């Protein structure tokens, strides 16, 4: 990918637009998550709510998870300073707590500000941690929590641990790290399973949990395999899980169709794009690509897609080279995007990033 330090900013932006909206590397998907997180934070701020930030970094000991994948689930977050000599004693109890909550729509997550994925994995092994760890290497997750006044100060040896809970709508609340059960009482009523735990046979629990918590690429092959099982109970359960996914996809496709018919074609296109990406391992998602092609002929949709392509690529470059000079160059390209596509959603998002 061409670097942003090109001597001709106009040529660089043209190149960024021309890369292609459908070419999604890991870095591009991460950039997209940053943009999605920005939208969510702006919407939350407008509504006076503190929303769970997107997880744009890497995971250890489990995961990955996304904020959108955790919709209608409660989340318990424990942020810990790795250098704290006393914090290791927290993890056995937290692992036990997660196990006890296995049949509840709750995800228990440890967050390690400043830790790389490798460091988080080493920390998990050393402390025999049984819950997924989010490696907040650049502390961007922590910074968003600080901006929302959900943390008194950064996690450090002077502030070794903090807990938060998110309800089924993603709204965050402060919690007592020593009382996770009490913390979850206020949010559990807002969380739900798509398929009740009592209806899931033991062999399909991994596939079920992956589906419920948005790990669709993990759940898809497990469900597909179970659909061929000789055990009728396993096969029947797999059919229930597959039906749940199908129902979700069909609802999203119907929502996209309604928006397109109402003239909201860009909104419809984005829904279809998410279906095509998130549910790509399920056959029902193929219809989304067909409908996207039809919508792409609309001039407004094409222009929005162009601007979104440029924005995703600019953010990708800024994430790949997070030095002050590169970030400053990235800001210049964001400003140029705003000038070139002033009436687009991407321009509004670029203003937010600035």
What does the pLDDT profile of the chain (354 residues) look like in tens digits? 333 333 344 444 544 444 343 344 444 455 555 555 555 554 454 456 799 998 888 999 998 999 989 999 999 999 999 999 889 889 999 999 999 999 999 999 999 999 999 999 999 999 999 999 999 998 989 998 999 999 999 999 999 999 999 999 999 999 999 888 888 988 999 999 999 999 999 999 999 999 999 999 999 999 999 999 999 999 999 999 999 999 999 999 999 999 999 999 999 999 999 999 889 999 999 999 999 999 999 999 999 999 998 888 887 777 666 677 877 888 899 999 999 999 999 999 888 777
Question: What are the tokens at 265?
Answer: 């074609």
Predicted model pTM: 0.79
User: What is the spatial distance between Cα 334 and Cα 34, in angstroms, rounded to a whole number?
Assistant: 14
Side-by-side strand order, sheet with 172-175 = 58-60, 133-136, 106-113, 74-80, 161-166, 172-175
Q: How many helices (H) and strands (E) does the chain have?
A: 14, 6
Count CB neighbours of 117 within 10 A: 16
Place of tokens 């997924």: 132
The dotted CATH code for 58-190 is 3.40.30.10
| Long-range contact pairs involving 13-22 (C-beta distance under 8 Å, separation at least 24) | 13/310, 13/333, 13/336, 13/337, 13/340, 16/309, 16/310, 16/313, 16/314, 16/333, 17/306, 17/307, 17/309, 17/310, 17/313, 19/309, 19/313, 20/309, 21/305, 21/306, 21/308, 21/309
């Amino acid at each position: 990918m061409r670097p942003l330090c090109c001597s001709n900013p106009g040529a660089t932006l043209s190149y960024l637009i021309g890369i292609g909206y459908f070419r999604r590397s890991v870095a591009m998907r991460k950039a997209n998550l940053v943009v999605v997180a920005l939208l969510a934070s702006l919407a939350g701020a407008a509504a006076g709510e503190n929303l769970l930030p997107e997880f744009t970094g890497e995971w250890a000991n489990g995961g990955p998870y996304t904020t959108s994948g955790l919709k209608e689930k409660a989340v318990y977050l424990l942020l810990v300073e790795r250098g704290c000599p006393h914090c290791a004693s927290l993890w056995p109890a937290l692992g036990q707590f997660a196990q006890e909550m296995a049949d509840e729509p709750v995800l228990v997550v440890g967050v390690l500000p400043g830790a790389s994925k490798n460091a988080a994995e080493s920390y998990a092994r050393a402390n025999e941690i049984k819950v997924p760890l989010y490696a907040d290497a650049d502390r961007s997750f922590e910074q968003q929590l600080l901006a929302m006044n959900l943390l008194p100060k950064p996690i450090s040896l002077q502030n070794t641990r903090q807990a938060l809970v998110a309800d089924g709508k993603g709204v965050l609340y402060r919690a007592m790290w020593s009382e996770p059960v009490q913390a979850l009482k206020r949010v559990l009523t807002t969380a739900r399973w798509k398929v009740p735990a009592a209806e899931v046979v033991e062999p399909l629990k991994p596939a079920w949990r992956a589906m419920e918590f948005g790990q669709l690429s993990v759940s898809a092959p497990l469900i597909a395999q179970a659909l061929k099982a000789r055990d009728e109970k396993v096969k029947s359960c797999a059919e229930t899980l597959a039906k749940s996914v199908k129902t979700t996809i069909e609802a999203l496709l119907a929502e996209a169709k309604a928006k397109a018919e109402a003239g909201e074609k860009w909104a419809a296109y984005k829904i279809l794009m998410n279906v095509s990406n998130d549910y790509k391992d399920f056959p029902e998602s193929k219809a989304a690509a067909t409908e996207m092609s039809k919508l792409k002929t609309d001039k407004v949709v094409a222009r929005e897609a162009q601007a979104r392509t440029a924005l995703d690529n600019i953010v990708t470059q800024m994430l790949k080279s997070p030095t002050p000079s590169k970030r400053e160059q990235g800001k210049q390209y964001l400003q140029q995007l705003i000038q070139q596509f002033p009436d687009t959603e991407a321009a509004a998002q670029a203003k937010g990033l600035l």
